[in-house]
Amino acid sequence: MLRVLVVGFFIFSLVVPLGFCQQSDCSECSKDAVLLNPALKEKIEAIERQAYNRLEGSGKNQGSSITLFIDSDHGFSGGAIEVLARFKQDNPSWRVKTVIEPGSRNLKQTLLRNRNYFNSGMEFDIDLNGNLARKFGIDRTPTYVVFHEGRHYKTTDLSDLNEAIAKLNK
């Protein structure tokens, strides 16, 4: 009797499609979420534009700036941040940013262990996929990328940043 009931249900489901599985109900799901909400599309475009301008515009249209690339695991990163913080105090008109390259260890634990980095008053970014480092050709850290008067200079020297800027002025 149970077999007859199962076979009957199977034949019935083949003849009459079930209402909750129809393709006509999936038209909304197949659309892009951005197309459903134009306000969301505008917000996404604004965020993407801001992120692009922040990364691409560093030093081109914003005057003089220094971007420091550090590895979260590297021992010299703290000293490089201190040098950059002193430079920022001496030259407040310069835009200063630090980009953290994630190391081989757990990034969250490394950043929590080095939270004194964030007390320097500088802007920090995390380059998770390494695109920004590849763009500037960064192969070791810490590295300073100095933009000044339309020129840029890359150095790994932890000495005085004023010397690097003097080279750009020549």
Q: How far apart, in Å, do the first and last CA atoms of the chain sit?
A: 97
Q: 103: buried, middle or exposed (CB in 10 Å: 19+, 13-18, 0-12)?
A: middle
Q: Is the pLDDT of residue 1 over 50?
A: yes
SS (H, E, C) 123-147: EEEECCCCHHHHHHCCCCCCEEEEE
Domain residue extents for the chain: 23-56, 63-169
Entry pTM:
0.58
Q: What angle do CA 55, 104, 157 make, to 5 degrees?
A: 60
In CATH, the architecture of 63-169 is 3-Layer(aba) Sandwich (3.40)
For 99-152, the pLDDT digits (tens) are 888 776 777 777 777 777 777 777 888 877 777 888 888 888 888 888 877 777
CA-to-CA distance for 3 and 62, rounded, in angstroms?
78
- Per-residue DSSP letters for 59-108? TTTSSSEEEEEEETT-TTHHHHHHHHHHHHHH-TTSEEEEEEEP-SS-HH
pLDDT in tens, 27-57: 555 555 545 677 777 877 777 677 666 655 5
Residue type present at position 8: G
Helix (H, G, I), strand (E, B) or coil at 2: helix
Distance CA 56, CA 48 (A): 12
